[in-house]
Chain A
Amino acid sequence: GDSVTQMEGPVTLSEEAFLTINCTYTATGYPSLFWYVQYPGEGLQLLLKATKADDKGSNKGFEATYRKETTSFHLEKGSVQVSDSAVYFCALSSGTYKYIFGTGTRLKVLA
């Protein structure tokens, strides 16, 4: 079945460091890909998405490119802030009404 694998955390960075969180997927067909962010005690918020190969999703300085050849959707940000500390989830939807999530990566940014 469909699955999402993302790097385990926690990831600890200093403010203004470069961030990469790896995400790879397995899916039949052509899934849509998403990154969600979860702040403590809250639900998930959509951060960005991409619906077809080579699409780049971006929001709030975060970017991810849908790479069909490597089945990847890595999240990047050039300069992280303390306020970016959260848990990040990679997810896919392949048209079966279901959204499949990775296990989440906790990011901690130190001032």
Chain B
Amino acid sequence: SQTIHQWPATLVQPVGSPLSLECTVEGTSNPNLYWYRQAAGRGLQLLFYSVGIGQISSEVPQNLSASRPQDRQFILSSKKLLLSDSGFYLCAWSPRGADTEAFFGQGTRLTVV
């Protein structure tokens, strides 16, 4: 069966520090991969998605970047964190093809102080 791993679960970082969140998927190949952010009390904002290695689409201009160095690995990064980067970050994957749902990781709670 397929599983998605996302880490760390919680992270407290000072303003101006770098960020690296990692997500890996097991049990499938060539998945679509996604990073979402959920601000406190708000909905999900799609940040990045990827349909293949090295292929990254950005939905919102911001202080973050994403990379997909391997087929089932998706990394969210920042060179210098801002206070506004605080939130709950969710990685997700979906199989290729239409009419399928997305599967989510457990999320990372990022607090920038």
B49 contacts the other chain (CB 8 A) = yes
Distance to closest chain A CB from B101 (angstroms):
5
Q: B46 near A42 (CB under 8 angstroms)?
A: no
Instruction: Tell me the nearest residue of chain B to A102, going by C-beta.
Output: B43
Partner-contacting stretch, out of B11-19, B61-69, B75-83, B105-113: B105-113
Q: B44 near A45 (CB under 8 angstroms)?
A: no
Known: A89-B43, A99-B46, A99-B92. A46 touches B51 (CB 8 A): no
Q: B109 near A95 (CB under 8 angstroms)?
A: no
Given contacts A34-B101, A43-B6, A46-B103, 17 further A-B contacts (CB under 8 A): A42-B106, A43-B90, A44-B92, A45-B104, A89-B43, A93-B99, A95-B98, A98-B59, A99-B34, A99-B46, A99-B94, A100-B46, A101-B44, A102-B43, A103-B42, A104-B43, A104-B44
| Secondary structure dominating the interface of A | strand
- Partner of A49 from the list B32, B42, B101 (CB cut-off 8 Å) is B101
| Secondary structure dominating the interface of B | strand
- Partner of B107 from the list A32, A43, A104 (CB cut-off 8 Å) is A43
9 closest Cβ contacts across the A-B interface? A103-B43, A43-B104, A101-B44, A51-B99, A44-B104, A43-B106, A46-B101, A32-B99, A43-B107
- Residue pairs across A and B with CB atoms within 8 Å: the count is 57
Interface residues of B in 4-45 (CB under 8 A from A): 6, 32, 34, 36, 42-44
Interface residues of B (CB under 8 A from A): 6, 32, 34, 36, 42-44, 46, 49, 51, 57, 59, 90, 92, 94, 98-107, 109
Which chain A residues border B106 with CB–CB below 8 Å?
42-43
Question: What are 12 residue pairs bridging A and B, where the CB atoms are less than 8 Å apart in the complex?
Answer: A43-B107, A44-B90, A44-B92, A93-B94, A95-B98, A97-B49, A97-B51, A97-B94, A98-B59, A99-B102, A101-B43, A104-B42
A61 contacts the other chain (CB 8 A) = no
Which chain B residues border A49 with CB–CB below 8 Å?
101
